Amino acid sequence: MTDITTTFSTLEKRVLNDFQHDLPLSATPFADMAQQLGVSEDEILNTVSKLQGDGVISRVGPVFTPNRIGVSTLAAMSIPEQKLECVARIISAFPEVNHNYERDHEFNLWFVVTASSEEHLDIVLHEIEQHAEYPLMSLPMLEDYFIDLGFNLQWA
């Protein structure tokens, strides 16, 4: 197995590690990142674009406390293994989907959907089912827990 960390540039490593928790909250976050790292805003934008294109990161943006701004739900689907990657791409194309991941379970594709209202959320969930051609199970949050998804990346 190839060690993917050897393919990251110094700038990519800094972007991946340094801004997991403290993305600048401003009208110009990428310019602020560039200033902190001593590079141009274009270099930051190109780096983020490359990392997204390579599938290393899926999105750059804030994470809000669930249901404080809009509404959200965890959803799960049971997808045949040979269709899993295709359905995951379909789901990821929805701007309301924060992330998705595979689990070793009958319901093997899980994702979080956030919308501006219950009505919008219901529409998005219905559209996901229509586009994916598989039913989904919505699991709205009953009690919230904070799980820090940031990692202190250790580069060899």
Give the CATH number of the domain where residue 108 resides: 3.30.70.3460
Residue 124 clears pLDDT 50, i.e. is over it: yes
Domain assignment present for 110: yes
Q: Are 34 and 43 in contact (CB under 8 A)?
A: yes
pTM of the model: 0.58
Band (17; pLDDT cuts 50, 70, 90): confident
Band (2; pLDDT cuts 50, 70, 90): very low
Q: In this predicted model, what pLDDT tens digit does every residue of 103-114 receive, in sequence order? A: 999 999 999 998
pLDDT (mean) for 73-83:
94
Q: How far is CA 132 from the centre of its chain?
A: 19
- pLDDT for the residue 147: 64
Domain assignment present for 82: yes
* Same domain? 30 vs 75: no
* Same domain? 75 vs 135: yes
Which of 99, 105, 126, 131 is labelled catalytic?
A: 99
Asked about 99 being catalytic, the answer comes back as yes
Report the domain count for the chain.
Answer: 2
Residue 132 DSSP SS3? helix
pLDDT (mean) for 117-133:
95
Domain assignment present for 60: no
Domain assignment present for 151: no
* Same domain? 78 vs 116: yes
pLDDT-above-70 percentage for the chain: 85
Q: Are 110 and 104 in contact (CB under 8 A)?
A: no
Domain containing 129: what range?
Answer: 71-139
* Same domain? 49 vs 75: no
Band (19; pLDDT cuts 50, 70, 90): confident
- Dihedral sign (CA 72, 73, 74, 80): negative
